[in-house]
Amino acid sequence: MKYLLDRTDEQILSELKANARISHAELSAKVNLSRNAVRVRVERLEREGFIKGYTIVSGEGGSKQHVTTALMFVYRHDRMRGGDVIQALRKIPEVIACDVLTGDFDLVVRVESPEADRIRQIWQQIAELPGVRDTLTAFALSSVIRR
């Protein structure tokens, strides 16, 4: 059964969009619920897919930091039972997106890091995951459309 959002859930989502680091105590004061009730609702919103993750939006801070982006194409041994690979990818903070593909490769994984060497470490980590048969990595030279 699909969970329907009520007004309080929408308020919680709105507050989290404005500040994903807000504490449950602060959030509870804004939506007039107890901290525990807020925690339960946030966990349910995460479980139901209304909250798919949290991110950091950093400012310029005086100098623009270069970010290296890589696309990793992953081929799993078993497409139908390869969920362990996706679960492992979720635990790598630099993995910012993972999409299931049709065709030769199963997954395309977008990785971003300020250090190119960290991309290499992540590639090695992914290549060694049980269930991964092969990988192909391409570094993005520049971003021509970014929304």
Strands 132-139 and 68-76: antiparallel
Residues contacting 73, CB < 8 A, separation 6+: 101, 105, 107, 108, 109, 135, 136, 137, 138
Query: How do residues 79-106 score in pLDDT, each as one tens digit?
Result: 777 678 889 999 999 999 999 888 878 8
Alpha carbon distance 141, 147 (integer Å): 17
Percent of the chain at pLDDT above 70? 89
Query: How do residues 25-69 score in pLDDT, each as one tens digit?
Result: 999 999 999 999 999 999 988 888 888 877 766 655 555 567 889
pTM value is 0.55
Alpha carbon distance 20, 2 (integer Å): 24
Percent of the chain at pLDDT above 90? 40
